[in-house]
Amino acid sequence: MRLLAAFLLVLTLGVAAAPSLAGPPEVPKAKGEKCLAEPADMRRNHMSMLLHRRDATMHQGVRASANGLKACLDCHAVSNAEGQPVGIDNDKHFCRVCHDYAAVQVDCFDCHNSRPEAKKASSEPVADVMPPEATESQPAVQPEGAK
């Protein structure tokens, strides 16, 4: 009898806890104004968008930056209490929130960084494939030096 009571208690508690488990996940708010497509479309098709971009970038060097994984992270990254973006090891990570709910494993972050790139101070020379100093110092290539 006591066993049955205990069983019923567990069952009741389970039902009481159920709504928080079964409810749709709370998707963290993104920074940007507008995503690439409507939420319903993104929810269903984001993986195809990434896959297409992946091959075009890798094999053909197409790097139009609007819809790559990096751009996703820039807008959607969730910060922790210290204001630092959380990684995929944290269950608040925007990918994990839905993927945990849907029980679909994300493999992207086995290789890709799950945090957005820290902005570097951009001191690099842009647009010149040949920096000016490369040409000035090129007399390096002197046959006499080889003797």
Partner 1 sequence: MSENSLSPTRRGLLKAAAGSAALLAPGVFLLAAPAPSKARPDDTATDSSVRWGLLIDTNRCDQECTACVEACKEEMGLIGKGRPATDAQYIRKVELAEPRTGFTRSLPMMCQHCSNPPCADVCPTGASFKRADGIVLVDRHICIGCRYCMMACPYKARSFAHEKLEDQAANNPRGKGCVEACTLCAHRVDAGIVPACVEACHAKGRGAMLFGDLQNPEHAITQVVAQYPTSQIRADLKTDPGVRYHGI
Task: Summarize as ranges the residues that interact with partner 1 (CB under 8 A).
Answer: 54-56, 58-65, 70, 87, 110-113, 115-117, 124-146
**CB-wise, 20 or 142, nearer to partner 1?**
142
Show the CA angle centred on residue 71, arms to residues 126 and 113, nearest 5°.
Answer: 90
> Residue 75 or 101: which CB sits closer to partner 1?
75
Q: How far is the CB of 71 from partner 1 (least distance, A)?
A: 11
* Token pair listed for 17: 């806890």
3-state helix/strand/coil string of 35-81: CCCCHHHHHHHHHHHHHHHHHHHHHHCCCCHHHCHHHHHHHHCCECC
Among residues 1 and 140, whose Cβ is nearest to partner 1? Answer: 140
Give the nearest distance from C-beta 100 to partner 1 in angstroms. 20
Sign of CA dihedral 34, 35, 37, 40: negative
The nearer residue to partner 1, 25 or 131, going by C-beta atoms, is 131
**Minimum distance of partner 1 from residue 128's CB (angstroms):** 4
Q: Is 10 helix (H, G, I), strand (E, B) or coil?
A: helix
Q: How far is the CB of 147 from partner 1 (least distance, A)?
A: 9
Q: Do the Cβ atoms of 102 and 22 come closer than 8 Å? A: no
